[in-house]
């Protein structure tokens, strides 16, 4: 079974629109960590954020914000006022305290149209 | 600058040849990882290493081999036994294995014909 599900394969928005990327995870651990990465066309994955399972506070960093809800096992990512430079593939990932692996979702390809 | 380097960026090989992909980090991280990414797909773990002289198979280790003789280096060999070696290969490192963010190199795009 998929531990991390990103149901949105591709999203297109017009510049300046807000967009939310969904991430649903599955784990039995009480301590775990969630991540978001950005993969621009160059290919290198860029780390965006890390949250642990005990911290459900929403986080905002500039135009980026993250909504972590344990009740729904979701860790959604919102980009406000999207820009062309936001066009990339975005990956959500899970790391469990009891394991040694990252579990990546299949990614959401975001295209921001000027 | 601290970071992860992978070389070369593009690599071409004939079928039946082994090829070694380089990964070096100067972040003083204990853990290192190799992932494979196919077009339109997510990342799949090939091998990881928690410490020097130790490594573990990931989900798709068949046809690949690694070594970890130095903390900063984790080369990946794609052997002729790998059925579909053409892919984008990403190396990553982290301070530890549980709960730490991974930092990625720029990747190597391998084409085997």
Instruction: Give the DSSP letter of residue B110.
Output: E
For chain B, give the secondary structure using H, E and C.
Answer: CCCEEEECCEEEECCCCCEEEEEEECCCCCEEEEEEECCCCCEEEEEEEEECCEEEECCCCCCEEECCCECCECCEEECCCCCCCCEEEEEEEECCCCCCCCEECCCEEEEEC
Q: List phi, psi (to 5°) of A112.
A: -105, 120
Query: Residues B30-51: what's their mean pLDDT?
Result: 92
Give pLDDT, residue B40: 77
CB contact under 8 A, B50 and A100: yes
- Calculate how close chain B gets to A114, using CA atoms only, in Å: 23
Evaluate if residue A1 carries a pLDDT over 70. Answer: no
Which residues of chain B are within 8 Å of residue A8 when distances are taken between CB atoms? none
A43 → closest Cβ in B58, B98, B107 = B107
Evaluate if residue B96 carries a pLDDT over 80. Answer: yes
- Tell me what percent of the residues of chain B surpass a pLDDT of 70: 98
A67-112 confidence digits (pLDDT tens): 999 999 999 999 999 999 999 999 999 999 887 778 999 999 999 9
The span from the CA of A64 to the CA of A21, in Å, is 11
Which residues of chain A are within 8 Å of residue B41 when distances are taken between CB atoms? 106-107
pLDDT-based confidence at residue B85 (cuts at 50, 70, 90): very high
CA atoms within 13 A on the CB side of B32: 31
Q: What is the mean pLDDT of chain B?
A: 93
**Who wins on pLDDT, A62 or B96?**
A62
The span from the CA of B90 to the CA of B107, in Å, is 5
Q: What is the mean pLDDT of chain A?
A: 94
CB contact under 8 A, B98 and A97: yes
- Calculate how close chain A gets to B3, using CA atoms only, in Å: 12
Residues 73-112 of A with CB under 8 A from B: 91, 95-102, 104-107
CB contact under 8 A, A42 and B106: yes
* Minimum Cα–Cα distance from A99: chain B residue: B98
């Amino acid at each position: 079974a998929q531990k991390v599900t990103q149901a949105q394969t591709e999203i297109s928005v017009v510049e300046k629109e807000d967009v939310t990327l969904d991430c649903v995870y599955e784990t039995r651990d009480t301590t775990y960590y969630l991540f978001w990465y950005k993969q621009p066309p160059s290919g290198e994955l860029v780390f965006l954020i890390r949250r642990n399972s005990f911290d459900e506070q929403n986080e905002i960093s500039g135009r980026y914000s993250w909504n972590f809800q344990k009740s729904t096992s979701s860790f959604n990512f919102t980009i406000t006022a999207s820009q062309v430079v936001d066009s990339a593939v975005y990956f959500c990932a899970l790391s469990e305290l009891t394991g040694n692996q990252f579990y990546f979702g299949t990614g959401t390809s975001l295209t921001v149209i000027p | 600058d601290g970071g992860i380097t992978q070389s070369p960026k593009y690599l071409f090989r004939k079928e039946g040849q082994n090829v070694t992909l380089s990964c070096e980090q100067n972040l003083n991280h204990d853990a290192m990882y190799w992932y494979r990414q196919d077009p339109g797909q997510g990342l799949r773990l090939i091998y990881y290493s928690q410490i020097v002289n130790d490594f573990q198979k990931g989900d798709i280790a068949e046809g690949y081999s690694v070594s970890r003789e130095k903390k900063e280096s984790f080369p990946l060999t794609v052997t002729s036994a790998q059925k579909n070696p053409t892919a984008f290969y990403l190396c990553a490192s982290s301070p530890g294995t549980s709960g730490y963010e991974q930092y990625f190199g720029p990747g190597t795009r391998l084409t085997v014909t």
